[in-house]
Amino acid sequence: MRGIVTVIGKDKVGIIAGVSQKLAELEVNILDVSQTIMDDYFTMMMLTDLTSANKEFDDIREELHQLGKTLGVKISVQNQEIFDTMHKL
């Protein structure tokens, strides 16, 4: 399964490192990433492969949510199929 991870919040040092490290711990592969800073706000989207993940999707979602609290950002993960369906014109 592929997932879309989004990260949004005030920019500060360590956001990319923290998210990437957590995904590596969960054995989630990052396939593509886009990030930008807009007027002191950090935004990032990652396309990920959860096929080899060592935890269930809901557990991954919760761990990323908790990491977001620690980093002071909002981290969300969605199944790519659901994300694509929600964003079709």
Per-residue model confidence (pLDDT) at position 83: 66
Strands 41-49 and 73-79, sheet pairing: unpaired
Structure confidence at residue 79 (pLDDT): 87
Tell whether the model's pLDDT for residue 89 goes beyond 60: no
- Please report which residue ranges of the chain form alpha helices under DSSP H: 15-25, 57-71, 80-86
Measured in whole angstroms, how far is the alpha carbon of residue 61 from the centre of its chain?
9
Candidates 3.30.70.3420, 3.30.70.270, 3.40.50.1970, 3.30.70.260; CATH matching 2-87: 3.30.70.260
What is the distance between the alpha carbons of residues 3 and 8, in angstroms, rounded to a whole number?
A: 16
Q: Is the pTM value of this prediction over 0.95?
A: no
Each residue's pLDDT tens digit, 31-88: 999 999 999 999 999 999 999 999 999 999 999 999 999 999 999 999 867 766 666 6
